[in-house]
Amino acid sequence: MLEDTQRKILRVLYHLYQQQWVRPDIDRVSHFSQRSVDRVREAIKELRTAGYVEIAEGKMRILIPGDPELEKPRTVEPPKSAYSTAGWFD
């Protein structure tokens, strides 16, 4: 299972580069993930060890983000109101 930082870095990498072979812009990944450049590099090494990232000839690609942790649906609940709006639009 991925840690929060690893999962966030992987999501950012996937959304920026998908599965293409690229030389990632670490500063950009750091900006979008809100993690330090050193932490991004460390997370990429961990993702490589875990098999989520492949690196060859100075380029990197995401393998397949099939981990259910990456595919968690985003759920947004409406704010709970302190007052009722019943009858306002009748």
CA–CA distance, 9 with 30 (Å, rounded to integer): 8
Check whether domain 4-62 has CATH 1.10.10.10, yes or no: yes
pLDDT one-digit tens code per residue, 33-81:
999 999 999 999 999 999 899 998 889 989 875 655 555 545 555 556 5
pTM of the model: 0.69
To the nearest 10 degrees (0 to 180), the angle between helices 4-17 and 26-33 is 120
CA–CA distance, 83 with 74 (Å, rounded to integer): 27
pLDDT one-digit tens code per residue, 8-29:
999 999 999 888 899 999 999 9
List the chain domain ranges: 4-62
